[in-house]
C-alpha cells in the first residue's frame, strides 16, 4: 500500500477525552474498576439536547471523536463526493435496544420509540457523521466484533490508496456497558472475576469491558504534505483474514494471527527485522493472550520486539478497541514513547515476548504493528510507520 497519512486524531476513552488526556491516561496507572466507562462524557458540545436524546451513546461517541479529529487535522479542502466515512462497531446501539424492550414490556408495543431503529442500527455512527459534515463519498460500517475498528481504518486507507476517496474519517465506536451486555459477557466467563485487566500477566482471568471511540483523519501523504499538515504517522500496510476455527476461541498456536501479521508486513513491503513494536490485542483473557503471544514470538522471535497492550487502562472497547489502539500507536510513533502494559505484575513463563511494563519506554520509532482479533475468528492488522523523509 502506498503511504496514507494520519493527520487528525479524535478520542473518547475511559482514560481521557481528547488526545492529550488519552495519552496521559495510557502512561499512568489506572484505577481498578470492573467497568471502564467514559465517566465524564457530556454530549452537549456536539449535540443539541433533542438531537442527543435521539442518538445512541455509541453514535454520540463517534460524532465527538470525528469532530475532534477534523479539528485536529486543521484546514481541509474537501470534495464532499470524494470524502469517506468508515466507522465500525461490534454491537451498535445496545443501550437503545435494551431501553426500548423495557418500554415495550412495561407499557406496550405502541409506546416503543419510532427512533428505535435509527438509534440502534450499527451504521448510525457513520451515517450521523456523514450527514453532519455533508460527506457524500463511501459511508460504510464494518462489524467484525473486536476487529471492527482496525478493519475500518484499514479499509479507509485502502480506499484512498486505490483512488476511491481523497480523505476519510475512519475508526470505531462502542457503548455496550449495559445490563444485558455485561450479563452476556459475564455468563460466557469472558470477564475478569477480579475486575482487573492485566494483559499477558500470569494471573490474568478475563477482560474488563470498556467503551469509547477513536476516529482518524486519513489522506494521501502527498496531499498532507502539500497543505502543510501535521502528520502523526503513515499507514503502509493492512491485512484481514479469518481463523475459520471457533466462534470465540482463537486458532491453536495463533495460526490466523501469524498469517494476518505476515500479510500486513507483505502489504507494506517490510521484513520482520524492520518492525520495532507491536501494539497487541492483549485482552487479558487466558486463551487470547497465550495465542497472540505465541504468534508474535513465531513471527518476530522470542522477546524480539517490544509489545504492549493498552487494555490494562482502557479495558476492552470491543468494536472500538482497534481504533483506540491505532490512535495510541500513531501517538506512540509521534511521541517516541511506548506506553506500558498497565497492571502487568507477574510474568507468565508461557508468554515468551518482551512485554513493556512499569513506565513508558523510550524508543526510536520505526515500523509498528497494531493487532486486533475478534470473536468469529476475525483478524486485522495495521502497519504504521514514521513519516518518511521524502
Instruction: State yes or no: is 378 an active-site residue.
Output: no
Q: Is 252 or 219 the better-scoring residue by pLDDT?
A: 219
| Mean pLDDT of the residues in the chain | 97
Give me the mean pLDDT over the 26-35 stretch: 90
Q: How far apart are CA 184 and CA 144, in angstroms?
A: 18
Chain centroid to Cα 78, Å, comes to 25
**pLDDT of amino acid 190:** 95
**pLDDT of amino acid 160:** 98
Q: Is the pLDDT score of 371 beyond 80?
A: yes
The H or E element spanning position 290 is helix 286-300
Chain centroid to Cα 177, Å, comes to 16
Q: How far apart are CA 279 and CA 325, in angstroms?
A: 7
Per-residue pLDDT of 176-216, as tens digits, reads: 999 999 999 999 999 999 999 999 999 999 999 999 999 99
**DSSP secondary structure letters along 173-224:** EE---SHHHHHHHHHTT-B-SSS---TTBTT---B-EE-EEEEEEEEEHHHH
Catalytic residue among 151, 316, 344, 378: 316
Catalytic residue among 139, 151, 277, 281: 281
Q: Is the pLDDT score of 390 beyond 90?
A: no
Helix, strand, or coil (residue 165): coil
Instruction: State yes or no: is 281 an active-site residue.
Output: yes
Q: Is the pLDDT score of 31 beyond 90?
A: no
CB 348 within 8 A of CB 202: yes
**pLDDT of amino acid 32:** 82
- With vertex at residue 381, the alpha carbon angle to CA 379 and CA 387, rounded to the nearest 5 degrees, is 170
**pLDDT of amino acid 40:** 87
DSSP 316: B
Catalytic residue among 15, 139, 146, 260: 146
Q: Where are the domains of the chain?
A: 4-385
Give me the mean pLDDT over the 307-311 stretch: 98
Has domain 4-385 been given CATH number 3.40.47.10?
yes
Per-residue pLDDT of 132-145, as tens digits, reads: 999 999 999 999 99
Per-residue pLDDT of 325-355, as tens digits, reads: 999 999 999 999 999 999 999 999 989 999 9
Helix, strand, or coil (residue 276): strand
Q: Which three cell numbers stand for residue 52?
A: 442527543
pLDDT tier, 385 (very low <50, low <70, confident <90, very high otherwise): very high
pLDDT tier, 33 (very low <50, low <70, confident <90, very high otherwise): confident
In this prediction the pTM is: 0.97
Q: Which three cell numbers stand for residue 343?
A: 497492571
Q: Which three cell numbers stand for residue 59?
A: 453514535
Q: Is the pLDDT score of 10 beyond 80?
A: yes
- With vertex at residue 360, the alpha carbon angle to CA 355 and CA 362, rounded to the nearest 5 degrees, is 95
Give me the mean pLDDT over the 91-102 stretch: 98
The H or E element spanning position 60 is helix 57-73
Instruction: State yes or no: is 316 an active-site residue.
Output: yes
Amino acid at each position: 500500500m502506498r503511504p496514507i497519512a494520519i493527520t487528525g486524531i479524535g478520542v473518547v476513552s475511559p482514560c481521557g477525552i481528547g488526545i492529550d488526556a488519552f495519552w496521559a491516561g495510557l502512561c499512568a496507572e489506572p484505577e481498578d474498576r470492573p467497568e471502564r466507562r467514559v465517566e465524564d462524557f457530556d454530549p452537549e458540545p456536539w449535540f443539541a439536547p433533542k438531537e442527543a436524546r435521539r442518538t445512541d451513546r455509541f453514535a454520540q461517541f463517534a460524532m465527538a471523536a470525528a469532530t475532534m479529529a477534523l479539528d485536529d487535522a486543521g484546514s481541509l479542502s474537501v470534495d464532499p463526493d470524494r470524502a469517506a466515512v468508515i466507522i465500525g462497531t461490534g454491537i451498535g446501539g445496545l443501550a437503545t435496544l435494551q431501553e426500548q424492550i423495557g418500554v415495550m414490556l412495561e407499557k406496550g408495543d405502541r409506546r416503543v420509540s419510532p427512533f428505535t431503529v435509527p438509534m440502534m442500527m450499527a451504521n448510525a455512527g457513520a451515517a450521523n457523521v456523514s450527514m453532519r459534515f455533508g460527506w457524500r463519498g463511501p459511508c460504510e460500517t464494518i462489524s467484525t466484533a473486536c476487529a471492527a475498528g482496525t478493519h475500518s481504518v484499514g479499509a479507509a486507507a485502502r480506499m484512498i490508496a486505490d483512488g476511491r476517496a481523497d480523505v476519510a474519517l475512519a475508526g470505531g465506536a462502542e457503548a455496550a456497558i449495559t445490563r444485558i451486555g455485561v450479563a452476556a459477557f459475564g455468563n460466557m466467563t469472558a470477564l475478569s472475576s477480579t475486575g482487573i485487566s492485566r494483559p499477558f500477566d500470569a494471573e490474568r482471568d478475563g477482560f474488563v469491558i470498556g467503551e469509547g471511540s477513536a476516529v482518524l483523519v486519513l489522506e494521501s501523504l502527498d496531499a498532507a504534505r502539500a497543505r502543510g499538515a501535521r502528520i502523526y504517522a503513515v499507514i503502509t500496510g493492512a491485512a484481514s483474514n479469518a481463523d475459520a476455527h471457533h466462534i470465540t476461541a482463537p486458532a491453536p498456536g495463533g495460526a490466523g494471527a501469524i498469517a494476518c501479521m505476515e500479510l500486513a508486513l507483505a502489504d507494506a513491503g517490510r521484513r520482520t527485522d524492520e518492525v520495532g513494536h507491536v501494539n497487541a490485542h492483549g485482552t487479558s483473557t487466558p486463551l487470547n493472550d497465550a495465542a497472540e503471544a505465541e504468534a508474535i514470538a513465531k513471527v518476530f522471535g522470542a522477546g524480539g520486539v517490544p509489545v504492549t497492550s493498552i487494555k490494562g487502562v482502557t479495558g476492552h472497547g470491543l468494536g472500538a478497541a482497534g481504533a483506540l489502539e491505532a490512535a495510541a500507536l500513531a501517538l506512540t510513533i509521534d511521541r517516541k514513547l511506548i506506553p506500558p502494559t498497565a497492571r502487568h505484575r507477574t510474568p507468565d513463563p508461557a508468554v515468551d515476548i518482551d512485554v513493556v511494563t512499569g513506565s513508558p519506554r523510550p524508543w526510536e520509532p520505526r515500523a509498528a504493528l497494531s493487532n486486533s482479533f475478534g470473536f468469529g475468528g476475525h483478524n486485522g492488522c495495521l502497519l504504521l510507520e514514521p513519516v518518511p523523509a521524502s
